Amino acid sequence: MRPASASRTIPTPGSLVRSLLLALVLLSAALLAGRHAHAREPVLLVASPQLADPNFRASVVLVVFPENGAPTGVVLNRRVDIPWAEAFAEDGILSRLQDPIYLGGPVRPDMLWYLVRSTVAPIDSFPVLGDLHLSTDGSFLDEWLIGNGRIERFFVGYAGWTAAQLEREIESGAWYVLPAELETILDSRPDQLWRRLLVRATAIET
């Protein structure tokens, strides 16, 4: 595993430092424990209309379950206005990008994540489906972009739970659970994703 400095981070004010240690523990444990193996298949969490948490209201979250690790995910449908040229002003590769950026979750909002389709998995990554990987690997990202490779989606931050915590939230009705499908994960209309999946999820429930 590459050191944490291999991941790409946005320079942030000191207000985030207090959450850094816990976030690093969660992330490192998940990556070390099972970055290339699943304890179970990934799922999509569809927020219930009753879910009041502003971090996840009307959200769709892709969640992976690393073997012996904590459930980890990214919100697929919350675009944020972060100019690459400002966030990565001193990065000659990232500062030129124009791709949309999505808020992956409330943990480590300074850290850049991405979804990429590649037959070779990045070192720091979670397998999702087929050749799709969720990664923070900065070295892989640089090489991929230099070679004109396509990144499916960029995120800042991620969502993390303990297994028991996530199960409690699902049992309480905070989330509907749907199988993760490649077409849905890479949907070209993420702003409409929650409403469409909510209709599907509630139809299954009834």
Asked if the model's pLDDT at residue 122 lies above 80, the reply is yes
pLDDT tens-place string over residues 142-170: 999 999 999 999 999 999 999 899 999 99
Contact indicator for 33, 68 with CB cutoff of 8 Å:
yes
pLDDT digits (tens, 9 = 90+) for 89-102: 999 999 999 999 99
CATH code: domain 6-205 is 3.40.1740.10
Instruction: Give the pTM.
Output: 0.84
Residue 140 clears pLDDT 90, i.e. is over it: yes
> pLDDT band for position 37 (50/70/90)?
low
Residue 90 is predicted with a pLDDT of 92
> E strands, the chain, where?
38-47, 60-66, 72-75, 79-80, 101-103, 107-117, 125-127, 132-135, 151-160, 175-179
Q: For the CA atoms of 183, 189, 195, 201, what is the dihedral angle to 10 degrees?
A: 0
Mean pLDDT of 129-150: 97
Average pLDDT, the chain: 86
Name the band, by pLDDT with cuts 50, 70 and 90, for residue 19.
very low
Domain boundary assignment for the chain: 6-205
HSE, side-chain direction, 13 A CA sphere, residue 93: 13
Q: Which residue has the higher pLDDT, 36 or 11?
A: 11
Report the C-alpha gap between 178 and 197 in whole angstroms. 8
Residue 205, both tokens: 């429930």
Identify the band that residue 7 occupies on the pLDDT scale cut at 50, 70 and 90.
confident
- pLDDT at 203 > cutoff 80: yes
One-letter amino acid identity for 75?
V
Residue type, 28: S
* 130 and 45 Cβ atoms separated by less than 8 Å: no
**pLDDT attached to residue 69:** 85
